[in-house]
Structure 1
Amino acid sequence: MKLQHYLGGLEGLPQPLSLEKRVFVEEWEKRIFGIHVAMMGLSNHLGSALPEYPIADVPTKFRDEWTWADLRTGAEAMNPFDYFKFRYYEKWLGGITQFFIDKGYVSEDEILSRLADSALPSTEADVPAIDDQVIDYLRRGDSPRRDVAHPKFAVGQTVRITNVPAGAHTRLPGALRTKVGTVTRIFEGDYGYFVHTGDGIGDPMPIYIVEFTPEELWGVRAEPGANSFYAELFEAYLQPVEEDQ
């Protein structure tokens, strides 16, 4: 069964895609974005992602890792019917909520009680040190780069994309699996993905830009005169064409 992380590049979808151009459709979406940013600014991964980052000194009860990878994993792990039913930030809300439940910060009953009783007192506290930490994170950011690049493949080399089983989350578009392309660029460093997805990525490795022809991706359905398709792919998703001959 092809789930939501296989969607890109599929043909014959039941209706044309409707692209929402507004960043935030509802006011509450801004709050969800802020919660995500605050979680990233308090994430334990910053202790290793940035040298001498004082994350352990911040007086917060949040003691887990939270990155873009965790956010994507939470969204893609949703029931496929829910995934296609909800809008962008509704998926964020579902992933963040499930994370807090799974980690024991809050229970489903507590959430339901809060929804049922809007008169419950707020538990939010003004902790300047936490606010300062989040602002510092926004100013400094973090980077998944860990070293200079150590590539196995060279620019101009023909590669085949792997077809490893996808877990709850993958960075390999379904339409590219088993396809053949050409390496056109190698990024300067080895990059980690903060979490191990189970399909080969997680530890630092090179990232490539691979070029695909429309004919390779869509065969006889490729439109005449269409441009090439480029994808940024972790090295674990590439293999030499010679291996499968």
Structure 2
Amino acid sequence: MKLQHNLGGLEGLDPVNTETQVFVEPWEQRIFGIHTAMMALSNHLGDSLPDYAIEEVPTEFKSFWTWGHLRMGAEGMHPFDYFRLRYYEKWLGGISGFFVSEGYITQEELDARTAAFLEDSEQAAAPLPTGGDPAIDAQVLKYLQKGDSPKRPLPAPPKFSVGDRVRVKNVSPGEHSRLPGHLKGHTAEVVLVYEGAFTYFFKTEDGIGVPMPVYSLAFKNEEIWPESLTEPNSLYYNDIFEVYLEAV
């Protein structure tokens, strides 16, 4: 992962945010709801598990949007902006940029609306629109209840078994990756082979996106971090896609 997402074991990142509230500002709940609705109305759900008749839902949102897209947007941010902005500010920026790139709104419309809210605080506190389509509401509720499973039938036997020693490959992450950067090049023991195979929302440059086995690996902490940062005889566990591993 890129610098701002590869923080395992780095020092000097204080102060640590100990905020206990999930939502600090009311607008944060709103952007969370928008993201949830986008996932629930994403056009890929017609091919997902469980089966959704998404083409029958009367929504004007016709794009592909998942947790992976939200994460990819955060990974694409400038590191300074990533550390400067609050958690849901990153969501707001990523989702706003997505709506511009997909043509739902223009950058000029977004800038004008933002300026209007900044000039008039009462406008920002105005009641939300009412109404909506019950069929859209039903789809969002169904998605919240059933989700979008990444589990698929196993296409081929797993390459590794419990007890095997494996090494994490040193692969380039490209635009987006699910490989923790601080594990590259390190060895571990396979402690669990998950049943079935697991896909990812979309294909990435470093090899995920098609169904494959996933393994739970045990790493010796002292092989990853300095001795001063670890406890004796402790282990660090991580779940890793098969494509990121090679035999020792």
Normalising to structure 1: TM-score of the pair?
0.90
In the TM superposition, what is the alpha-carbon distance from 1:168 to its structure 2 partner?
A: 2.4
1:132 alignment counterpart: 138
Alignment partners' CA distance in 2, 1:127 and 1:96: 22
1:6 alignment counterpart: 6
In the TM superposition, what is the alpha-carbon distance from 1:113 to its structure 2 partner?
A: 1.3
Residue of structure 2 aligned with 1:163, choices 154, 159, 170: 170
After alignment, is 175-184 or 214-223 more displaced?
A: 214-223
Alignment partners' CA distance in 2, 1:224 and 1:5: 24
SS of the counterpart of 2:176?
coil
Superposition map of 1:110-129 within 5 A:
110-118=109-117, 126-129=132-135
Deviations 1:2-22, CA, capped at 9 Å, x for gaps? 522222x13222424233222
Alignment partners' CA distance in 1, 2:231 and 2:145: 46
Amino acid at match of 2:225: W
Superposition map of 1:1-245 within 5 A:
3-7=3-7, 9-50=8-49, 52-118=51-117, 126-148=132-154, 150-225=157-232, 227-241=234-248
Q: Identify if the C-alpha distance between structure 1 residues 216 and 63 changes in structure 2 by more than 3 Å, giving closer, same or farther.
A: same
In the TM superposition, what is the alpha-carbon distance from 1:221 to its structure 2 partner?
A: 3.7
Q: Identify if the C-alpha distance between structure 1 residues 19 and 235 changes in structure 2 by more than 3 Å, giving closer, same or farther.
A: farther
SS of the counterpart of 1:73?
helix
In the TM superposition, what is the alpha-carbon distance from 1:58 to its structure 2 partner?
A: 0.8
In the TM superposition, what is the alpha-carbon distance from 1:226 to its structure 2 partner?
A: 5.2
In the TM superposition, what is the alpha-carbon distance from 1:52 to its structure 2 partner?
A: 4.2
After alignment, is 34-43 or 224-233 more displaced?
A: 224-233
In the TM superposition, what is the alpha-carbon distance from 1:125 to its structure 2 partner?
A: 5.5
2:120 alignment counterpart: none
CA contact (8 A) 1:5 1:169 kept: no
SS of the counterpart of 2:32?
helix
* Residue ranges of structure 2 left out of the alignment (5+ in a row): 118-122
Alignment partners' CA distance in 2, 1:15 and 1:123: 41
| C-alpha RMSD over aligned residues | 2.2
Amino acid at match of 2:166: V
CA contact (8 A) 2:9 2:225 kept: no
Deviations 1:8-59, CA, capped at 9 Å, x for gaps? x132224242332221111111111100110111011111113542100111
**Aligned pair count?**
240
In the TM superposition, what is the alpha-carbon distance from 1:145 to its structure 2 partner?
A: 0.7
Deviations 1:146-192, CA, capped at 9 Å, x for gaps? 11473111111101001111122211111111111111011112111
SS of the counterpart of 2:103?
coil
* Residue ranges of structure 1 left out of the alignment (5+ in a row): none
Structure 1 stretches of 4+ moved >4 Å: 118-125
CA contact (8 A) 1:205 1:234 kept: yes
Normalising to structure 2: TM-score of the pair?
0.89
CA contact (8 A) 2:154 2:212 kept: no
Q: Identify if the C-alpha distance between structure 1 residues 189 and 210 changes in structure 2 by more than 3 Å, giving closer, same or farther.
A: same
Alignment partners' CA distance in 1, 2:134 and 2:200: 30
Q: Identify if the C-alpha distance between structure 1 residues 204 and 94 changes in structure 2 by more than 3 Å, giving closer, same or farther.
A: same
In the TM superposition, what is the alpha-carbon distance from 1:219 to its structure 2 partner?
A: 4.4
